């Protein structure tokens, strides 16, 4: 039987309450501190390196994010830590309500489950967005004071877009953590599952996928085309991990000279993608850079929506009155 | 026999050392003439008053024993000053050896106010034999310096960027050494210079002995901006009061010069991968002649199509320009970025090329498809809310 009224009623209340809970919780504070401090330390190291070796660069601000000081670049650390932030926030969103027997109490209010789940997701995303934005501002501020070069609009737009993409990437992991918190009644199980998946996807899969491709499609890098084909095969497998998508997006966004997502892989092999007649190193306009990694961005946004929908459908079909 | 041979060799040496036409004579035979002779090449000369005339003399001894001869000059007017000079100093007597000659000269200082007319002088060499030589000195009012200037090829043809080189022969037809000054008058902004025939040294004057001729080169460089037409250059040689000119003509045919530029000077364009973009290029003829049948072509990276419209321009008059539209189609697989395409215009030996920077943008089609996918995901969410919502 369909009930009447808007399914969104009470969304604002739930979001507000969840957000205030998140922001005042000790767990959140620890996770945020971890992310912010790590990010700032890495940026400080890369800033020092930029000041030492960069003579002139039209996109100096963007180099702060990509230049790797002490082997770790800011982007790489974000790829690993943002999922941790999202999982830490999301693994007990729903099942803790079950366990504290507060779920039926909430739902006895004129609030639908829709509003509850949406509110929890939005509040989680907002929390992550707040902490990431704060860190982003700290990084930009540090870069400005350390480099002393005013950023141009293009740089700021690219950096802002990177922030948005980072939030979308956190959204995927938040939706996944929420799905697990709906599936498993025990928060520990949900947390372990989510963390296990994170470990597998972020660390094991990049190693495993390479070997898998080599077994399934033995590489025959005799011509440039074959090499590019095998590279795109590697990429296709690696893209099953949201971290790979995020890394590709950010690499292209933060380097205007990047014309293809394969360019950095080729560079790692000591090769360069030289198109006959093209002017190497010429920066692309922002829109062109976005068009290159648009499929990856669609993948991140669409993935988080689909994961949320699965969690939503499972949650709606659950018995909550136990 | 042996003594005779030595004598012959000695004789040969003496003949050679005296020089002159005797060298070509058969030296095995003694000359048939015998005696003492007082010789000169020109026994009658014309002299201007107020100058010094020099008469070359030679005392020749043919098969006679060496003999001392006293030299004297008679018939010299009072105001004249006649000196016999040999070996650079005044002499009184000569002593020619057997079959040898002694050269000396008679120097005549003629005062300015000497009356016109002929004067008969007699040079006498007095010894055991006495030899005389009459010399006629005619005083004339003026002996003009005379020059001729003959161009080998007086009319040359070339374009505005050629150097015109005229071969000129300048001849001194007077009886004395002169220094001829060279000059040329040409239209404005022409670059004119005289050089040696084989050499790059520029000249202003050439010294010429009497009767001598010399070849010099006149280089004329017209200014690059000169139009088609015939130009006149006058070469002039002056020496003392003689002036000689030669009229030289140069026909300038003119050349076309093609320049390519983008409209408003822009040399960049934007294009979308796989789609045609038009770029307007201005073909200008900055030369001095019309450019005929100008072929336009272009090339880009492999897989690109660069086509000109029109492909051939029939004629561009000088200082006019035509617009050509280039249709640039990047290959459909072009990665976004900046590329170089070059365009060329060529007209019979004249060509110009220009490179264009084409910024290729990828089609936004896939962006829309991505939007569609997100929209589908949102629709699924909405459908789920509709189906399972409000519990």
Counting one residue from A and one from B, how many pairs have CB atoms under 8 Å apart? 103
Is the model's pLDDT at A307 over the cut of 90? yes
Which pLDDT belongs to residue A43?
A: 82
Mutate which: A8, A94, A277, vs B, most B CBs within 10 A? A277
Residue range A68-114, pLDDT digits in tens = 666 677 888 888 889 998 999 899 888 888 888 888 888 888 888 88
pLDDT in tens, chain B (391 residues): 455 555 555 555 554 444 444 444 445 565 578 888 889 988 888 887 888 888 899 998 888 888 888 999 988 888 888 899 998 899 999 998 888 889 999 998 888 888 888 888 899 998 888 888 999 988 887 666 788 899 999 899 888 888 899 999 999 887 778 899 999 999 888 999 999 888 889 989 999 888 888 999 999 998 877 878 888 999 999 988 788 999 999 888 877 888 888 888 888 888 888 889 898 999 998 887 888 889 999 888 888 899 998 899 888 888 888 899 999 998 887 778 888 888 999 887 788 898 888 888 877 788 889 899 999 999 998 888 888 877 6
Is the model's pLDDT at A174 over the cut of 90? yes
Q: Which helix (H) or strand (E) holds B230?
A: strand B229-239
Mean pLDDT over all residues of chain A? 86
Q: In Å, how far are A177, B82, B258, B348 from B290, measured between CA atoms?
A: 78, 74, 10, 11
Which pLDDT belongs to residue A249?
A: 92
Determine, for residues B301 and A276 on separate chains, whether the beta-carbon distance falls below 8 Å. Answer: yes
Domain assignment present for A28: yes
DSSP secondary structure string, A149-168? -PPPHHHHHHHHHHHHHHHH
Domain assignment present for A2: no
Residue range A205-243, pLDDT digits in tens = 988 988 888 888 887 767 777 888 888 888 888 888 999
Range of the domain at A280: 11-317
d(CA A8, CA B166): 101
B312 touches chain A (CB under 8 A): no
Domain assignment present for A5: no
Domain assignment present for A246: yes
- How many domains is chain A built from? 1
Domain assignment present for A26: yes
Whether the ipTM is more than 0.90: the answer is: no
Determine, for residues A260 and B335 on separate chains, whether the beta-carbon distance falls below 8 Å. Answer: yes
Return the biggest CA–CA distance within chain B. Answer: 166
Domain assignment present for A1: no
Among A2, A295, A316, whose Cβ lies nearest the Cβ of B366?
A295
- The domain defined by B147-252 folds into Immunoglobulin-like (2.60.40)
Tokens matching residue B48: 């201007």
CATH code of the domain occupying B33-139: 2.60.40.10
DSSP secondary structure string, B280-349? EEEEEE-SSS-EEEEEEEEE-STT-EEEEESSEEEEE-TT-EEEEEEEEE--TTPPSEEEEEEEEEEETT
Which pLDDT belongs to residue A157?
A: 93
Give the minimum alpha-carbon distance from B300 to chain A in angstroms, rounded to a whole number: 7
d(CA A220, CA A226): 6
In chain B, which residues fall in CATH 2.60.40.10? 33-139, 147-252, 258-361
Determine, for residues B378 and A305 on separate chains, whether the beta-carbon distance falls below 8 Å. Answer: yes
Query: What architecture is the B258-361 domain classified under in CATH?
Result: Sandwich (2.60)
Non-local CB neighbours of A147 within 8 Å, separated by 6+ positions: A47, A50, A51, A60, A61, A64
Check if the beta carbon of residue B40 is closer than 8 Å to that of residue B133.
Answer: yes
Give the minimum alpha-carbon distance from A259 to chain B in angstroms, rounded to a whole number: 6
Which pLDDT belongs to residue B19?
A: 46
Is the model's pLDDT at A57 over the cut of 50? yes
């Amino acid at each position: 039987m369909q009930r009447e009224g808007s399914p969104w009623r009470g969304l604002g209340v739930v979001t507000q309450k969840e957000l205030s809970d998140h922001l005042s919780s000790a767990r959140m504070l620890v996770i945020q501190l971890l992310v912010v401090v790590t990010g700032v330390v890495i940026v400080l190291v890369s800033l020092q390196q930029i000041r030492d070796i960069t003579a002139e660069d039209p996109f100096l601000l963007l180099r702060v994010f990509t230049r790797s000081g002490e082997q770790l670049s800011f982007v790489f650390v974000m790829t690993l830590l943002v999922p941790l932030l999202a999982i830490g926030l999301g693994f007990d969103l729903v099942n803790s309500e079950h366990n504290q027997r507060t779920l039926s109490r909430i739902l006895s209010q004129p609030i639908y489950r829709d509003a509850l789940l949406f509110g929890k997701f939005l509040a989680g995303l907002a929390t992550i967005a707040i902490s990431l934005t704060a860190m982003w501002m700290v990084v930009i501020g540090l870069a400005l004071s350390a480099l002393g070069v005013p950023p141009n609009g293009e740089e700021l737009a690219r950096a802002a877009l990177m922030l948005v993409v980072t939030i979308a990437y956190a959204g995927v992991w938040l939706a996944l953590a929420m799905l697990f918190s709906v599936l498993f009644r025990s928060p520990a199980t949900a947390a372990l599952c989510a963390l296990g998946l994170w470990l597998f996807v972020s660390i094991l899969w990049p190693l495993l996928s390479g070997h898998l491709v080599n077994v399934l499609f033995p590489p025959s890098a005799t011509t440039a085309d074959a090499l590019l084909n095998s590279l795109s095969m590697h990429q296709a497998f690696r893209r099953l991990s949201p971290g790979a998508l995020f890394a590709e997006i950010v690499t292209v966004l933060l380097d205007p000279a990047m014309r293809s997502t394969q360019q950095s892989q080729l560079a790692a092999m000591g090769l360069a993608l030289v198109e006959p007649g093209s002017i190497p190193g010429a920066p692309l306009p922002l829109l062109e850079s976005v068009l290159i990694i648009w499929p990856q961005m669609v993948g991140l946004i669409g993935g988080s929506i689909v994961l949320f929908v699965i969690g939503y459908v499972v949650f709606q079909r659950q018995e909550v009155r136990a | 026999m042996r003594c005779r041979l030595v004598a012959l060799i000695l004789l040969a040496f003496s003949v050679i050392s005296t020089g002159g036409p005797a060298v070509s004579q058969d030296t095995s035979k003694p000359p048939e003439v015998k005696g003492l002779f007082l010789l000169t090449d020109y026994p009658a000369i014309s002299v201007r008053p107020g100058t010094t005339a020099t008469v070359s003399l030679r005392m020749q001894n043919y098969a006679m024993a060496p003999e001392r001869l006293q030299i004297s000059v008679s018939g010299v007017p009072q105001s004249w000053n006649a000196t016999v000079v040999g070996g650079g100093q005044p002499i009184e007597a000569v002593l020619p050896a057997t079959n040898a000659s002694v050269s000396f000269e008679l120097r005549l200082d003629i005062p300015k106010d000497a009356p016109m007319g002929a004067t008969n002088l007699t040079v006498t060499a007095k010894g055991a034999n006495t030899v005389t030589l009459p010399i006629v000195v005619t005083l004339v009012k003026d002996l003009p310096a005379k020059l001729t200037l003959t161009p080998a090829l007086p009319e040359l043809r070339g374009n505005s960027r050629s150097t015109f080189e005229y071969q000129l022969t300048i001849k001194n037809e007077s009886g004395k050494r002169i220094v001829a000054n060279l000059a040329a008058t040409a239209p404005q902004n022409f670059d004119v210079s005289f050089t040696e025939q084989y050499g790059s040294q520029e000249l202003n004057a050439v010294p010429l002995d009497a009767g001598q001729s010399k070849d010099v080169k006149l280089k004329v460089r017209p200014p690059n901006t000169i139009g088609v037409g015939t130009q006149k250059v006058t070469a002039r040689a002056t020496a003392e009061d003689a002036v000689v000119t030669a009229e030289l003509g140069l026909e300038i045919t003119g050349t076309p010069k093609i320049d390519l530029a983008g409209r408003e000077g822009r040399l960049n364009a934007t294009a979308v991968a796989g789609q045609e973009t038009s770029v307007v290029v201005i073909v200008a003829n900055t030369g001095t002649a019309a450019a005929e049948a100008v072929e336009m072509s272009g090339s880009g990276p492999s897989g690109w199509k660069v086509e000109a419209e029109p492909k051939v321009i029939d004629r561009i008059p000088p200082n006019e320009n035509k617009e050509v539209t280039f249709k640039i189609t990047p290959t459909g697989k072009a990665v976004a970025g900046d590329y170089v395409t070059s365009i060329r215009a060529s007209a019979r030996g004249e060509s110009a090329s220009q490179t264009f920077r084409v910024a290729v943008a990828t089609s936004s089609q896939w962006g829309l498809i991505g939007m569609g996918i997100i929209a589908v995901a949102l629709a699924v969410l909405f459908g789920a809310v509709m189906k399972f919502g409000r519990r």
